Amino acid sequence: MILLLLALPAAAQQPTHACASEAQAAARLACYDKAFPPPPEVIEAATEQAQADFGLNKPRDPLLNPGQTVEQADPERIESRVAKVDHYNGQRVFRLENGQVWTQAESRGSGHVQAGEVVQVRKGLLGTYMLIMPNGVALRVRRTR
């Protein structure tokens, strides 16, 4: 009985799974994901979160769920219907049905978009974003919410 009690602390220090011995967090997560793949609804939730976070200044998360494409984790564009267009300090503010708010980041006012129209926001050069109107006119925008 005493030998069993003495053996318990040593057994408790042993990793419970081979992945637990991986020193780097990314390698450990990849190991666990390989051993215990997440269900499709987890991939879908991660993809939806990436869409919701599109354009926000957040630290990039280089990790992908198994079965998740780079485009799902870090989309190049989103598409949504315009809920409302406001003007603030001489700039247009586009409120989209998906809850995102984008503000015009340049002074030119070409192009026209109104509530109900579908727009696309794409990644541009050097961390910028472009709002593409239904008529093809592109405006540089920044995500404000």
Query: pLDDT means per 10 residues in the chain (145 residues)?
Result: 52 71 83 89 89 79 75 90 92 95 85 92 92 93 93
In a domain, 4, yes or no: no
pLDDT of residue 26: 80
Domain boundary pick from 36, 57, 73: 73
- Let me know how many helices (H) and strands (E) the chain has, helices first: 4, 6
As a whole number of angstroms, the distance between CA 110 and CA 108 comes to 6
Q: Which domain holds residue 67?
A: 15-73
45 and 62 both lie in a single domain: yes
pLDDT of residue 78: 96
Virtual torsion, Cα 117, 94, 138, 53, nearest 10 deg: -100
- C-alpha–C-alpha distance, residues 113 and 134, integer Å: 8
Is the separation of the CB atoms in 68 and 48 below 8 Å? no
Q: Residue 68's pLDDT is what? A: 82
User: Which tens digit of pLDDT belongs to each residue from 72-93?
Assistant: 888 999 999 999 999 888 889 9
5 part of a folded domain: no
Residue 1, in any domain of the structure: no
For the beta carbon of residue 63, count every other beta carbon within 10 angstroms.
Answer: 13
> Would you state the pLDDT for residue 145?
87
Three-class SS of residue 119? strand
DSSP H or E stretch at residue 83: strand 77-88
Query: Nearest to residue 60, comparing CAs of 74, 76, 44?
Result: 74
Q: Is the pTM of this model over 0.75?
A: no
Asked which of 73, 93, 108 is the last residue of a domain, the reply is 73
